[in-house]
Structure 1
Amino acid sequence: MNRIVLIGRAAKDWELRYTGTGTGIANGVIAVDRQVSQGKEKEADFINLVAFKQTAETCANYIKKGHRFAVEGRLQVRSYDNNEGRKVWVSEVLVDRIEFLEPKQQGSQNQTEGRHSTPPPIDDDDLPF
C-alpha cells in the first residue's frame, strides 16, 4: 500500500502548466512541521507535490504561499539525467485529494472550511530550492 497524508502550509504558490493535449499539471511544495526533540523548536520538511487535471487547476487557483491545507496521495520516486549526465532522484507526492483548512479569503472564490489563523511566515532561506 502506498498512501500518504500530509497537513501543512504552502511553501510557495503553485505553478500550473498544460501538456500538449491540454492536461493541467501543477507543482507545489508543502511545509510540514517536525518536532526535533522535547523543548526544541520545530523544523519543517519541504515535500514536493504534483497534481493533475481539475485538481491541478484547483491547487494553482486557490492555494497560495502560507495557506494551510491537507493533501492525500501516493509517494513517487523517479529519476532523470541532468545536464551534466548525472542521475538525479526526485521524491514527490502525486495528489489524489486536497482539503482546505482555512476559511476562504475575502474576495476569493475559494470554498474552504476550518478555523481562521494567520499563517506564520516561511523564510525563503528554509526552502530547499
Structure 2
Amino acid sequence: MNQVILIGNLTRDPEMKYTQSGLAITRFTLALNRPKKDGQDQGADFINIVTFGKLAENCANYLAKGGKTAVSGRINSGSYEDKDGKKVYTVDVIANSVEFLEWGDKKESSGTDYSDIDGFHPTDNDDIPF
C-alpha cells in the first residue's frame, strides 16, 4: 500500500505548467513540523507535492505561501542526471486530494468567496505520465 496524508504549510506559492497535451501540473512544497522532543523544536521536513488536471488548476489559483493545507496521495520516487552528469534522486507526493485548511493571501486580496470550489479531486488522470 502506498498512501500518505500530510498537513503542513506552503513554503512558497504553487507553480503551474501545462503539458503539450494541455494537462495542468502544479507543484508546491509543504513544510511539516517534526514532533518536539524533550520540549525542543526538532525542525521541519519539506515535502514536494505534485497535482494534475482540475485539482492542479485549483491549487495554483487558490493556494498561497504560508497557507495550511492537507494533502492525500502516494509517494513517487525517481531520478535524473543533472547538468554535471550526477544522478539526482527525487521523492514527490502525487496528490489525489488537497484540502485548503487556510486560504492565505490569494483569498484575502480578492475578497472572493471560494466555498464552492469544484475539483478537489482530479477527474481524469489518463494524461498523467506515470
Q: Would the TM-score normalized by the shorter structure come out above 0.5?
A: yes
State the alpha-carbon separation in 2 of the partners of residues 103 and 83 from structure 1.
Answer: 38
* Equivalent residue, structure 2, for 1:30: 30
* Equivalent residue, structure 2, for 1:117: none
Unaligned runs of 5+ in 2: 117-130
Unaligned runs of 5+ in 1: 113-129
* Equivalent residue, structure 1, for 2:101: 101
The number of residues matched between the two structures is 112
Tell whether the 8 Å contact from 1:103 to 1:111 is kept in structure 2 after alignment. no
Tell whether the 8 Å contact from 1:14 to 1:63 is kept in structure 2 after alignment. yes
Q: 1:59 Cα shift?
A: 0.7
State the alpha-carbon separation in 1 of the partners of residues 84 and 41 from structure 2.
Answer: 38
State the alpha-carbon separation in 1 of the partners of residues 17 and 69 from structure 2.
Answer: 21
* Equivalent residue, structure 1, for 2:7: 7
Helix, strand or coil at the partner of 1:58: helix
Which stretches of structure 1, 4 residues or more, deviate above 3 A after TM superposition?
103-106
State the alpha-carbon separation in 2 of the partners of residues 17 and 85 from structure 1.
Answer: 26
Q: How does 1:71-82 map to 2 (within 5 A)?
A: 71-82=71-82
RMSD (CA atoms): 1.7
Query: TM-score if structure 2 supplies the norm length?
Result: 0.80
State the alpha-carbon separation in 2 of the partners of residues 19 and 109 from structure 1.
Answer: 30
Tell whether the 8 Å contact from 2:64 to 2:103 is kept in structure 1 after alignment. no
State the alpha-carbon separation in 2 of the partners of residues 108 and 58 from structure 1.
Answer: 14
Identity %, equivalent residues: 39
| Residue 60 (structure 2) pairs with residue 60 (structure 1) | yes
State the alpha-carbon separation in 1 of the partners of residues 64 and 18 from structure 2.
Answer: 19
Q: 1:83 Cα shift?
A: 0.8
Q: 1:103 Cα shift?
A: 5.7
Deviations 1:54-79 (A, max 9, x none): 11101111110000110000000000
Helix, strand or coil at the partner of 1:29: strand
